Structure 1
Amino acid sequence: MNLGLISLILLLAAIVIGFVRNCNVGIICVGFSMILGIAYNLSIKDIIAGFSSSLFIQMVGITYLFAIINGNGTLELLANKLVRLVGKKKHLVPFVMYVLGFAICAVGPGAIPSLAIVPVIAIPVAVSAGVNPIMTAIIGDLGVMSGRMSPLTPESAVVRELMEEQGLTGNTLPIMAAITITALVTAVVVYIYYKGWQIDPSVKDSVQEKLPAFNLQQWLSLAGLVVLAVGALFFSWNVGLTGFLIGSVLLVLGCGNEKKAIAAVPWNVILMVLGVGILMNIISISGGIDIMVSALEAVMGKRTAAMIMAIASGLMSFFSSGLGVVFPTLIPTASGLSAGLGVSAAELVAVIVVGGTVAGFTPVSTTGALIMAGVSQQENAEERFPQNKMFVELFAVSFIALAILAVFSFIGVYSFIK
């Protein structure tokens, strides 16, 4: 049987096995690549060519740096100080968390650690302010998702590389704008549903309690963030190498614990992304991408291409990682579909990224699970926030975000991306 078709079947099998057995899809993909190499007499060089060393450096370097900065309490203290800026206007806390989530994600760490950091901050702050913590965590995470395609993030590096492999300009800023538009509309819908303007009058005001000042380690960490942003944005420094450099300097200055920082790097996600990349390289060189493009062309038209692609990426992200599976699987089809249907390849990439991002609130996803766990830890949570109701609401948010994306795709909201 054709190697391209077999490799596509094995990619689907890896995704299903990973979901059903809770295994790392990337590691399974590496194993399947070995089987294909033996069965079809592929050289080791061709197989290993799918491993992106530059992507590895970027992802590990930046997550290593933020593991150090998060470990010494810099991000949490900074977040709490920013939230205090709302003063008595507690109904603005969810949108402060949106801005905060955007900033934390966009300055470098990306969505993976930020989606874990923001609910930890948002939920207790919301409870102490008398604001619904589920709503606040959701809106904060929508802010994280909006900042995901900042040029400084490891996710941006993945998408940029996938675009450049197809001859597209690897500019992720328009994609960031597309995610932001979708996330903001979703945030407004969520705010209205939860009646975010209503404040619990019985809750004691603890938002204004005095916070400690930044210590020397935290000031040095903030300075490191500034150096990272300036170097990457104005001097084109490699984000990963810069992350290693700044992280090493911070460790020498006593601002972190090396063992804890290395342990906090999301190795499972990195292995997933790089492992899927190895199998995707085989799919690419064997004609599997052409098979996928032909299959998608059969159900798409010029008017519906963006909408169908958006829905497909969103549904895939219900059961698999957007970064590790959805992006490397669907983005390589964009240029082929663009040529066949006469649509913008960049717009297709954008809706894939948006769909693989904003639909990730289901309780079976990491984002949804962290929100449920954080809310459940609060006092009288079972009475105030029943888990069954929360489970349904988080699924509903995912479908609402996906519906907004589908409608926007159909009416051409993202057509500005060329």
Structure 2
Amino acid sequence: MTLLILMALALSIGLGYITKINIGFFTIVFAYLIGCFGMGLKPAEVIELWPVKIFFIILSVTLFYNFALANGALEKLASHLLYKCRRFPQFLPLAIFLASTVIAGLGAGFYTVLAFMAPITLLLCKKTNMSMIIGGMAVNYGALAGANFMTSQSGIIFRSLMENVGINAQTSFSYSLGIFVVTLIIPVVVLGLYTFWNRNSNSIFIEDQKPEGFDLKQKKSLFLIVLMMSIVLIFPILHLLFPEAQTISFLNSKVDIAFIAIIFSLISLLMKLADEKKVIALVPWGTLIMICGVGMLIALGVKLGIITILSEWLANNVPIWLIPFLLCLISAIMSVFSSTLGVVAPTLFPIVPALALASGLNPLVLFICIIVGAQSSAISPFSSGGSLIMASAPADVDKSQLFNQLLFKAVPIGMTAALIALLILKFVM
């Protein structure tokens, strides 16, 4: 059964890639067939494996942030951030990274930011003579780093996955903060080195055209986003600073980002900040199906003890110092062909507590290894990030050349930077 579940997961990823059908549909079918006919579970027991908590959190948070997407507030924010860089064109890669990070950190999420920032970025590359590979890396890195923020889409998913394997909410918040910081520093260093190397180059040119100002609805949306982030972040931070304060501990235990997001969604609806149907349509239903579908299959593996078996094998057969690097490479290879949120994190996060216990390694380091590794190759044209960049390329761009540059230039750069970062992290933590 253990081998069958692993084969089903691998087959689901392969079929999803070949057929272009959401992987979640395949994993749900395999979960039903293996659970009911292989493990003797009742259909109702298999249905209960659907990760309701993760589903509700992603649904509620993305629903709220979609108001700022629907009324154009986030897109206009990106234009203003890029405009600020017009007098320093050599810093354009860092400006694109910053704009993508801020917008993704405000809750737009990785896929959404890439969907509307990648076309803008590649057009900027064409107009300003900037390398499309550097532009693609900048927007991809920014969307990933910003989405990893504790209250943004990826950060929330990471925290939920951690809590599903027994890590308490306060610790999961700290771990997700660590992931965000590391995935923010790596691209700043990589893009900073590129900027320094090309500091005397005059090849990049930015047009001096100021974007339009924010309208009233857009200002209200941005204000509500900042307010919600403040409410959600202030209590965990205060609890870290004052762990003995009972009032803060009580409030921290009751403040839930999913319910806060629903409240702010209702406020946004009452303020008529965007059309309700458009906001609901922007919910990433495909991502939800993929994450929850894979989660059902992984939950079957947990029932069989596959997580413990895999963790003990790694701890007993691989030198302890090599485990973080091996985990990073496994994540990177998986992410070349699949999604970090939909496949890599739901598959590998469950093994971390047992692996940390068996090897004595810090769980935070292992979580960071998984995400840093997965996101180092997320720009692959076979993965979601790279495919979106390929789809966003202008019509007159040589797609085959861009494909080769993404796969054989951007991915190796990302993986090398990830391994160097983990080597440094090993001496720090």
Q: Could you list the per-position Cα deviations for residues 16-41 of structure 1 after superposition, in whole angstroms to 9, with x for gaps in the alignment?
A: 22222222222211111111232221
Residues 1:187 and 2:191 aligned together: yes
User: 1:209 aligns to what SS in structure 2?
Assistant: coil
Is the alpha carbon distance of 1:24 and 1:295 closer, same or farther for their aligned partners in structure 2, counting shifts above 3 Å? farther
Following superposition, the deviation at residue 336 of structure 1 comes to: 2.2
User: 2:393 aligns to what SS in structure 1?
Assistant: helix
Q: Could you list the per-position Cα deviations for residues 332-357 of structure 1 after superposition, in whole angstroms to 9, with x for gaps in the alignment?
A: 11222223333222211111011112
Amino acid at match of 2:413: I
Q: Could you list the per-position Cα deviations for residues 202-257 of structure 1 after superposition, in whole angstroms to 9, with x for gaps in the alignment?
A: x6x52x22322211111111122122211211255432333333233323333212
8 Å contact from structure 2 (residues 100, 139) kept in 1:
yes
1:227 paired residue number: 227
8 Å contact from structure 1 (residues 131, 196) kept in 2:
no
Following superposition, the deviation at residue 313 of structure 1 comes to: 0.3
User: Matched residues in 1 for 2:309 and 2:19: separation?
Assistant: 28
**Of 35, 38, 43, which aligns to 1:37?**
35
Residues 1:283 and 2:301 aligned together: yes
**Of 198, 201, 218, which aligns to 1:198?**
201
Following superposition, the deviation at residue 414 of structure 1 comes to: 4.7
Bigger proportion of residues as helix: 2
Q: Could you list the per-position Cα deviations for residues 80-116 of structure 1 after superposition, in whole angstroms to 9, with x for gaps in the alignment?
A: 1122222421111211111111111122233232222
Following superposition, the deviation at residue 192 of structure 1 comes to: 7.0
Is the alpha carbon distance of 1:243 and 1:48 closer, same or farther for their aligned partners in structure 2, counting shifts above 3 Å? same
1:176 paired residue number: 180
**Of 18, 21, 24, which aligns to 1:23?**
21
2:339 paired residue number: 321
Relative to the length of structure 2, the TM-score reads 0.86
User: Matched residues in 1 for 2:286 and 2:164: separation?
Assistant: 25
Following superposition, the deviation at residue 151 of structure 1 comes to: 1.2
User: Matched residues in 2 for 1:78 and 1:217: separation?
Assistant: 13
Amino acid at match of 2:354: G
1:354 paired residue number: 372
Higher mean displacement: 71-80 or 132-141: 132-141
Mapping 1:102-117, distance limit 5 Å: 102-117=101-116
Higher mean displacement: 280-289 or 138-147: 138-147
Amino acid at match of 2:3: L
User: Matched residues in 2 for 1:259 and 1:233: separation?
Assistant: 29
Higher mean displacement: 246-255 or 323-332: 246-255
Q: Is there any run of 5+ residues in structure 1 with no aligned partner, and where?
A: none
Q: Is there any run of 5+ residues in structure 2 with no aligned partner, and where?
A: 236-251
1:394 paired residue number: 406
**For this pair of structures, how many residues does the alignment match?**
404
Mapping 1:61-140, distance limit 5 Å: 61-140=60-139
2:238 paired residue number: none
Is the alpha carbon distance of 1:4 and 1:366 closer, same or farther for their aligned partners in structure 2, counting shifts above 3 Å? closer
User: Matched residues in 2 for 1:356 and 1:58: separation?
Assistant: 22
1:403 paired residue number: 416
Following superposition, the deviation at residue 406 of structure 1 comes to: 2.4
- Give % identity: 24
Amino acid at match of 1:407: I
Residues 1:239 and 2:238 aligned together: no
User: Matched residues in 1 for 2:283 and 2:260: separation?
Assistant: 16
User: Matched residues in 2 for 1:211 and 1:404: separation?
Assistant: 35
Relative to the length of structure 1, the TM-score reads 0.88
User: 1:394 aligns to what SS in structure 2?
Assistant: helix
Is the alpha carbon distance of 1:320 and 1:415 closer, same or farther for their aligned partners in structure 2, counting shifts above 3 Å? farther
User: Matched residues in 2 for 1:177 and 1:334: separation?
Assistant: 20
Is the alpha carbon distance of 1:348 and 1:210 closer, same or farther for their aligned partners in structure 2, counting shifts above 3 Å? closer
8 Å contact from structure 1 (residues 134, 375) kept in 2:
no
Residues 1:261 and 2:273 aligned together: no
